[in-house]
Amino acid sequence: MEVILKQDVQNLGYADDLVKVKNGYARNYLIPQGLAILASEPNKKMLAETLKQRAFKVEKLRKEAEFLAGKIEGLTLRIATKASDKGTIFGSVNTIAVAAALKEQHDIEIDRKKIMLKDEHIKELGNYTAQINIHKDFKVIVNLEVVAE
């Protein structure tokens, strides 16, 4: 079944993408949650018109994302947290902490939902990487250095 996404859906696509999914996934999750609409002919025509009108705005956002990606690419964020003598963190470092460190150290504000860690949470001291999905065309890698306070 083909659907038109109304919002970004992780591991599926971005807003206004036309994607093919299984019938049950569309009928039981995407459509009831308001994440997608059925890709009927009138909806496809409406999507084409919307994309045509939005092309200028998208190009502007793409240029801003490219600039931000150049600014972020290869940064190293130092995240200080409380830890035991063995290097185990009390609690964990998650995407909220990464977003806060990016804002505090480099004055760059990124939504935490756009930050992807290899694991959900970092529970030990060390060096890690995080992927930031700035735009659907720009994904950058940031180095994380988790140290004890």
pLDDT digits (tens, 9 = 90+) for 58-97: 888 889 888 888 888 888 999 999 988 888 888 888 899 9
pLDDT band at 38 (very low <50, low <70, confident <90, very high): very high
H or E element that contains 36: strand 36-38
**At the top level of CATH, which class does the domain 2-63 belong to?**
alpha beta
Tokens of 1: 């079944």
Pairing of strands 18-20, 115-117: unpaired
Cβ contact 108:81 at 8 Å: no
pLDDT band at 31 (very low <50, low <70, confident <90, very high): very high
H or E element that contains 91: strand 88-93
Decide if pLDDT at 120 tops 80: no
For the chain, domain boundaries: 2-63, 69-148
pLDDT band at 28 (very low <50, low <70, confident <90, very high): very high
Decide if pLDDT at 119 tops 80: no
Tokens of 10: 């992780």
Q: Under CATH, domain 69-148 is a member of which superfamily? A: Ribosomal protein L9, C-terminal domain (3.10.430.100)
Q: Say if 2-63 and 69-148 have the same CATH topology.
A: no
pTM of whole model > 0.75?
no
